[in-house]
A and B are shown apart, each in its own frame.
Chain A
């Protein structure tokens, strides 16, 4: 009897110790050395779940910029530490706004965090901004495009403190949706369209923006349906679409529903023109759907496409070598986001002020620097001043791997800001 109790106690203590140590490790706080001047940049992305592929490419872009800054001796005398937090949960299967809010609170509670890169998804952004605003902690997002978060109309909800804390190195769906509608009407000669979205904040926002513009420029919108990303079967709504026979289908949303939409659209209604937003730019989606099913999709990115420029070859090569994957356009905007933050820290330090959240936020607001994507500066709401939407078509490159985002999306051009007629 005595021996059994002791063994159980031993087991319980071991399990408890293991649990505590895993908990400590998983919070991911970087060790701080007392004699080095250190600030922390947070990275907040849905690294597990259906968005893991795109999130990882973004994370790598940011990490590359931070490593480069540190190897040059830091910025303004400070070394940059990184804390990465994941907003993907198993229940959501993709980004989870509730987890994003928890992550925001963790960053706010850590006094060494002066700025954040992220989030990827607008659903995360909507949950995080009230918390960040209360602490005046700025975040620069490389990919969140829902316009509400920086819209002065909703300032009471998303920046109760009054100051802009959500900065973007991408432009918003206020342009991504409508510019695609212009492109589809002018270049693809689409007259009727059916719209689908995946019920998420980003998907609903971009498809509504698309719908508004489509109606304004004379395209017939035959319907707008919402999909449940957890459901496997969309044959009902796709059959309904086939019965109505539009020229094109526009899908606003991310990979979890996007995979099924692409597969089932190819099975049931392959002749229709298929278009989506930047949620369809994802390596995991390419390999899950496979060729030829995914071929022919038109997608947009809310940033200028610089990756094929001659000046970028070296950067792309370094990225690919270090992370064993090719960069996405938003890896570049993430790199640029870190450059903005690093430049802001440098300016604060050069001005003799202490480097903390408030000074860094103010410096980010007044940023005006040249980055990989071109000159970056923000308006008073935190939106990037240049508004370029790039259009891509998925064209199979058999020489590259199926999930190679750089080579399977062929760059077509810039989507027009207004229709030609």
Chain B
């Protein structure tokens, strides 16, 4: 591998990492955009999604790397897993919203946000106690296909899968929010809850849909994580969550294109920083850049200035 090959490979790695963070940041940033709630439970719903999709895939008979599928059976199995995990995590999100957050909807201050931290810990410990702390092998049915971009650099099938799913979900979400009736209701609720209620929009139903969608996206990210890294563990919500949270804030929290851009930036910093400096400095570099961006653009790169209603 020549040095330029190495750099190109790191760029590919960085964009893939970034796509992973963007996917994770997507649901998170959307929930904030609609109801202005930082939902810390999002990242552990992602972790639960990774375990759930592992069980679904195991149910279809896959184990580790022993069974490889191609073509239609592969697409079928992945689609099945995706739909199941999105439904399951969506329902989980709705349950969380109904039981824990609805009573706190009109309580001012940070009560709701702190409650999501509590829910996050509950999910974390439920999985820890039931699954144990060791990492578990995630079934990987995808064939080991890769293409040589140049002589030394490779692009793997699973990276293409990751980018495709991330882009499709982003476009799908964008379409849903802009073009459908429920999406317009969500935008209205985001602008002014009281006014939306007065216009006849069922705010309860809008919030429920928001949570369903956000958590479903977290679940999809869990499936993709498992297919990509081939393992699941109860801690994956933590570090991936921290980077995804940073990506969302960097891109402008509440903005969907912002989450995508923020994710890719963080991914590229991680891979190029690791290559050119050293991996142990990655966190320092990422957070320094975040601080600098926020000093000059407090709402993030794509964020909008929100007029605070007193």
Interface residues of A (CB under 8 A from B): 48-50, 52-53, 88, 90, 93-94, 199, 225-228, 230-237, 239-240, 242-243, 245, 255-256, 259-260, 263-264, 284-285, 287-290, 292-293
A290 touching B13, Cβ below 8 Å: no
B309 at the interface (CB under 8 A from A): no
A263 touching B3, Cβ below 8 Å: no
Complex Cα distance, B10 from A245, in Å, reads 15
**Size range of the chain B interface in the assembly:** 35 or more
Beta-carbon nearest neighbor of B1 in chain A = A243
Complex Cα distance, B133 from A233, in Å, reads 18
A235 touching B271, Cβ below 8 Å: yes
Of B133, B136, B229, B275, which one neighbours A236 at CB under 8 angstroms?
B275
Complex Cα distance, B239 from A226, in Å, reads 16
Given A53-B134, A259-B135, also A243-B3 (CB < 8 A): yes
Interchain nearest-CB distance for B25 vs A (Å): 16
Which A residues are in CB contact (< 8 Å) with B124? Answer: 90
Interchain nearest-CB distance for A8 vs B (Å): 18
Complex Cα distance, B128 from A239, in Å, reads 31
B136 touching A288, Cβ below 8 Å: yes
Given A93-B234, A240-B6, also A52-B134 (CB < 8 A): yes
B5 touching A243, Cβ below 8 Å: yes
Of A52, A236, A290, which one neighbours B279 at CB under 8 angstroms?
A236
Complex Cα distance, B10 from A239, in Å, reads 7
B76 at the interface (CB under 8 A from A): no
Which B residues are in CB contact (< 8 Å) with A90? Answer: 124-125, 128, 133, 234
Of A94, A240, A285, A290, which one neighbours B274 at CB under 8 angstroms?
A240
Complex Cα distance, B229 from A243, in Å, reads 21
Given A48-B133, A225-B280, A233-B229, also A239-B239 (CB < 8 A): no
B104 at the interface (CB under 8 A from A): no
Interface residues of B (CB under 8 A from A): 1, 3, 5-6, 9-10, 13-14, 17, 20, 64-65, 124-125, 128, 132-137, 225, 229-231, 233-236, 238-240, 270-271, 274-275, 278-280, 282
Beta-carbon nearest neighbor of B273 in chain A = A236
Given A93-B235, A240-B6, A263-B229, also A233-B135 (CB < 8 A): no
Complex Cα distance, B137 from A293, in Å, reads 11
15 new A-B contacts at CB < 8 Å, known A239-B6, A243-B6: A49-B133, A50-B135, A52-B133, A90-B128, A93-B133, A93-B233, A226-B279, A228-B280, A232-B236, A234-B279, A236-B13, A236-B274, A242-B1, A245-B1, A263-B229
A232 touching B239, Cβ below 8 Å: yes
* 8 sampled A-B residue pairs with Cβ under 8 A: A88-B133, A233-B17, A236-B10, A236-B274, A237-B274, A260-B135, A263-B229, A264-B229
Which A residues are in CB contact (< 8 Å) with B275? Answer: 236, 239-240, 243
Interchain nearest-CB distance for B114 vs A (Å): 18
B5 touching A50, Cβ below 8 Å: no
Given A232-B229, A243-B1, A263-B230, also A288-B135 (CB < 8 A): yes
Which B residues are in CB contact (< 8 Å) with A230? Answer: 235, 238-239
Which A residues are in CB contact (< 8 Å) with B238? Answer: 230
B279 touching A225, Cβ below 8 Å: yes
Which A residues are in CB contact (< 8 Å) with B229? Answer: 232-233, 260, 263-264
Which A residues are in CB contact (< 8 Å) with B271? Answer: 235-236, 239
B133 touching A228, Cβ below 8 Å: no
Which B residues are in CB contact (< 8 Å) with A52? Answer: 132-134
Which A residues are in CB contact (< 8 Å) with B5? Answer: 243
Interface centre among A226, A235, A237 (most CB of B within 10 A): A235
